[in-house]
């Protein structure tokens, strides 16, 4: 379905390229000196990258004032084929990226409005081809889509886990060109044109055109992309639109949208996904290509358009072209004074001599306080914290958490419980400040399954033991769980990571749920986003807070024992008691050691039994282990077990 634009016939060029490198900013809002990094692309008369220049060949002007270039890097491709990607694995904590000033960043963007089924299928195949043949192991890649119904949807945030990106692309399968009033399930993803994950606009207001919805939502996204450093190369797959009307307001909106992407240092490489008509009507008017809009967006941001009908069919050539343009560049750096006022600075990069074409940023915005961020900017900042290997803001303070899964009796769907004991360092860090606490439960494609948001004043809990608890219904699958605490004024943060696995509900038989580990401790205060109507976690995981405390992270070496709350599903008719056994498997050597188990308390309900047991750890050396807990019914000898990692230091 084509997006219809009624605009002036002239394409007005917007300033050539875009601001590069929004480096990490200090949290304090005062004048400070930092390094501004600028990516520069230079080509010769033949259009090929010119990579023989040195620092003295360049001049940089910031608001008309020449700057002293103190940093200079040259990034030249050694060949057309990138090195093979290493195996990709999941880690609980972010893995630092290889040392480099500015990794390449690609956003694959599929326009589902201005497209058809064949175009979306070809776009997905082309994007997978780009991942397989052109993307480097250090390249960060993300996936966006656009539809009138949802606006901009984030399917994968910037990541070097390209297997995750590949899976996200395979799942982008919305029906094309759907209007807001039609049915159908949307591809899973995180809606970005929203506040708190809620779609801003479920239906267009009277007189609000699809063009205005498109430009407004895309402009909001561009503003949010500003805080990501370096160039953002957007591979934009669409059938575009024809620019042939008299709508001056529409043209101004498109120009403004282009300026926002230019200010965000985001370049469009726009590829037409339309398939040529093999049987064009004889003698009829020649159909205009939607490539006009694609060219407009590419020129306005400093990218390149492949706008002819059928361009997607020669994508391997396009992919090599994009690779050559984005893999050969210079990085120039100069010191700047940052004043946290959000003002725009005009940038001009020149060459001292030579007949070259230079492509460099046109400007940048000073940083601004986090409290001045828009809802969308705060949303992108949240996902940057939750999903990035290397968050762009100040590194968050990490604290431990536990994630447990269980099936309430009679329920068709299980629940994931998030628990975290907030350490004193976290409470002290945000002393006297207003903060928000956000939980995210993300599936294997990093789509948000559930989110809880609370506003807190941690100063009220100074000197106290504070435990956050929240649970959520989740279908079978593997989940990444996050608890994020953010200062609402500065954006400073603390964060916890854990994984949870929700097995499919068994038809019958004994099953052991995820244990909750405890240590000796005193009274704690529980806070959290508990769904009081549906929450049943306290029936499975309640404990005497005067005797036990939630285990936070590692177990100190020499700890004589720990406790475990173990929920079980009991098949109908099972009446005999459960016998418990425990063992530790050394993760390094594979050796096994039995642990003494003392059952302290049992609680049986309809279809379930919860056991509080103490496990002896005397004589266990420091190391990484897997803890196995096995339940066996006395009469039938039916058995089930669970296992979890254990770190003793």
**What DSSP assignment string belongs to 271-319?**
EE-PPPPSSPPTTSPPPPPTHHHHHHHHHHHT-EEE-STTGGGGHHHHH
pLDDT of residue 635: 83
pLDDT of residue 469: 87
Give which of 540, 229, 274 is closest to 392, Cα–Cα: 229
Q: Average pLDDT of 163-173?
A: 85
pLDDT of residue 56: 95
The β-bridge partners of 360 are: 40
Going by pLDDT thresholds of 50, 70 and 90, the confidence category of residue 232 is very high
pLDDT in tens, 354-374: 999 887 767 777 778 888 888
- The residue with greater pLDDT, 81 or 380, is 380
Question: 550 near 505, Cβ under 8 Å?
Answer: no
Question: 629 near 512, Cβ under 8 Å?
Answer: yes
Choose the weakest-confidence range: 497-501, 548-552, 630-634.
548-552
d(CA 526, CA 187): 36
Taking 70 as the threshold, does the pLDDT of residue 518 lie above it?
Answer: yes
Going by pLDDT thresholds of 50, 70 and 90, the confidence category of residue 111 is very high
- The residue with greater pLDDT, 272 or 428, is 272
Question: 312 near 120, Cβ under 8 Å?
Answer: no
The model's pTM is 0.70
pLDDT of residue 284: 57
Distance of CA 423 to the CA centre of its chain: 26
Average pLDDT, the chain: 80
Longest dimension (CA), the chain: 91
pLDDT of residue 286: 54
pLDDT of residue 243: 66
d(CA 580, CA 630): 6
- The residue with greater pLDDT, 558 or 302, is 558
The percentage of residues in the chain with a pLDDT greater than 70, rounded to a whole number, is 80
pLDDT in tens, 30-77: 456 778 888 788 989 888 889 999 999 999 999 999 999 999 988 887
pLDDT of residue 466: 85
3-class secondary structure per residue, 172-230: CCCCCCCCCCCCCCCCCCEECCEECCEECCCCCCCCCCHHHHHHHHHHHHHHHHHHCCC
Give which of 460, 451, 471, 464 is closest to 528, Cα–Cα: 471
Q: Quick one: angle between helices 162-170 and 117-133, nearest 10?
A: 170
d(CA 339, CA 367): 7
Taking 80 as the threshold, does the pLDDT of residue 649 lie above it?
Answer: yes
pLDDT of residue 345: 84
- The residue with greater pLDDT, 242 or 332, is 332
Question: 18 near 262, Cβ under 8 Å?
Answer: yes
The percentage of residues in the chain with a pLDDT greater than 90, rounded to a whole number, is 31
Going by pLDDT thresholds of 50, 70 and 90, the confidence category of residue 188 is low
Backbone conformation region of residue 225, classed left if phi is above 0, alpha if psi is from -120 to 50, else beta:
alpha
Helix (H, G, I), strand (E, B) or coil at 89: coil
Going by pLDDT thresholds of 50, 70 and 90, the confidence category of residue 200 is very low
463 φ/ψ angles, rounded to the nearest 5 degrees = 80, 5
Choose the weakest-confidence range: 165-174, 261-270, 358-367, 564-573.
358-367
d(CA 392, CA 339): 19
Going by pLDDT thresholds of 50, 70 and 90, the confidence category of residue 193 is low
pLDDT of residue 519: 86
Q: Average pLDDT of 261-286?
A: 81
Exposure string of 320-342, with b = 16+ CB inside 10 Å and e = fewer, is eebbbbbbbbbbbbbebebebee
Helix (H, G, I), strand (E, B) or coil at 164: helix
Choose the weakest-confidence range: 28-32, 249-253, 458-462.
28-32
pLDDT in tens, 533-590: 445 677 778 788 788 888 877 898 989 999 999 988 888 777 778 999 999 999 999 9
Taking 90 as the threshold, does the pLDDT of residue 234 lie above it?
Answer: yes
Query: Do strands 232-238 and 105-111 pair parallel, antiparallel, or not at all (unpaired)?
Result: parallel
Could you write out the DSSP letters of every residue in 451-492?
EEEEEEEGGGGTTS-EEEEEEEEE-SEEEEEEEEEEETTT--
Q: Average pLDDT of 595-603?
A: 93
pLDDT of residue 352: 95
d(CA 138, CA 21): 17
Helix (H) / strand (E) element for 146: namely strand 140-147
The β-bridge partners of 611 are: 566, 602
Helix (H) / strand (E) element for 95: namely none
Q: What does the block give as tokens for 15?
A: 């300033």
Q: Average pLDDT of 1-9?
A: 39
d(CA 617, CA 629): 14
């Amino acid at each position: 379905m084509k997006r219809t634009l009624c605009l002036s016939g002239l394409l007005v060029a917007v300033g050539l390229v875009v601001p590069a490198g929004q480096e990490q900013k200090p949290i304090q809002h005062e004048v400070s000196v930092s390094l501004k990094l600028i990516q520069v692309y230079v080509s010769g008369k033949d259009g090929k990258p010119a990579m023989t220049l040195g620092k003295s060949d360049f001049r940089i002007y910031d608001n008309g004032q020449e700057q002293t270039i103190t940093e200079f890097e040259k990034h030249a491709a050694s060949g057309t084929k990138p090195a093979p990607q290493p195996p990709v694995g999941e880690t609980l904590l972010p893995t630092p990226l290889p040392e480099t000033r500015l990794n390449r960043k690609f956003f694959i963007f599929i326009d589902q409005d201005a497209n058809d089924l064949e175009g979306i299928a070809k776009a997905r195949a082309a994007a997978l081809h780009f991942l397989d043949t052109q993307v480097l192991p250090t390249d960060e890649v993300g996936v966006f889509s656009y539809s009138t119904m949802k606006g901009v949807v984030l399917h994968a945030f910037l990541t070097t886990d390209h297997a995750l990106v590949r899976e996200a692309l395979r799942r982008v399968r919305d029906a094309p060109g759907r209007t807001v009033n039609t049915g159908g399930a949307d591809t899973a993803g995180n809606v970005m044109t929203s506040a708190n994950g809620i779609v801003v606009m479920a239906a267009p207001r009277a007189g609000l055109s699809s063009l205005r919805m498109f430009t407004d939502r895309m402009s909001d996204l561009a503003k949010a992309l500003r805080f990501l450093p370096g160039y953002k190369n957007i591979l934009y797959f669409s059938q575009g639109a024809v620019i042939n009307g008299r709508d001056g307001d529409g043209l101004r909106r498109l120009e403004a949208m282009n300026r926002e992407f230019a200010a965000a240092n985001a370049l469009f490489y726009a590829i037409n996904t339309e398939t040529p008509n093999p049987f064009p009507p004889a003698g009829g008017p020649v159909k205009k290509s939607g490539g006009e809009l694609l060219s407009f967006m590419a020129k306005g941001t400093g990218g390149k358009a492949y706008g002819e009908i059928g361009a997607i069919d020669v994508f391997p050539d396009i992919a090599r072209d994009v690779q050559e343009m984005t893999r050969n560049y210079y990085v120039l750096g100069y010191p700047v004074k940052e004043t946290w006022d959000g003002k725009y600075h005009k940038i001009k990069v020149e060459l001292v001599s030579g007949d070259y074409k230079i492509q460099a940023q046109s400007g940048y915005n000073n940083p601004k306080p986090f409290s001045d961020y828009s809802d969308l900017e705060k949303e992108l900042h949240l996902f940057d914290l939750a999903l990035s290997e290397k968050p762009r803001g100040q590194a968050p303070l990490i604290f431990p958490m536990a994630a447990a899964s269980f099936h309430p009796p009679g329920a068709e769907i299980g629940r994931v419980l998030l628990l975290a004991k907030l350490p004193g360092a976290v409470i002290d860090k945000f002393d006297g400040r207003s903060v928000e606490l956000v939980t995210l439960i993300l599936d294997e494609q990093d789509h948000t399954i559930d989110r809880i948001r609370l506003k807190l004043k941690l100063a009220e809990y100074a000197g106290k033991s504070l435990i956050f608890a929240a649970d959520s219904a989740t279908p079978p699958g593997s989940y990444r769980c996050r608890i994020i605490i953010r200062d609402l004024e500065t954006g400073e943060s603390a964060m916890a990571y854990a994984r949870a696995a929700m097995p499919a509900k068994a038809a019958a038989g004994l099953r052991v749920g995820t244990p909750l580990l405890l240590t000796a401790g005193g009274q704690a205060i529980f806070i959290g986003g508990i769904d009081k109507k549906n929450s049943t976690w306290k029936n499975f995981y309640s404990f005497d807070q005067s005797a036990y405390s939630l285990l936070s992270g590692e177990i100190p070496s020499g700890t004589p024992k720990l406790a475990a709350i173990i929920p079980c599903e009991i098949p109908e008719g099972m009446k005999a008691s459960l016998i418990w056994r425990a063992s530790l498997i050394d993760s390094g050597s594979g050796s096994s050691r039995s642990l003494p188990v003392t059952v302290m308390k049992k609680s049986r309900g309809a279809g379930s039994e919860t056991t509080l047991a103490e496990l002896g750890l005397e004589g266990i050396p420091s190391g990484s282990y897997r803890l196995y807990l096995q339940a066996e019914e006395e009469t039938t000898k039916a058995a089930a077990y669970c296992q979890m990692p254990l770190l003793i230091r």
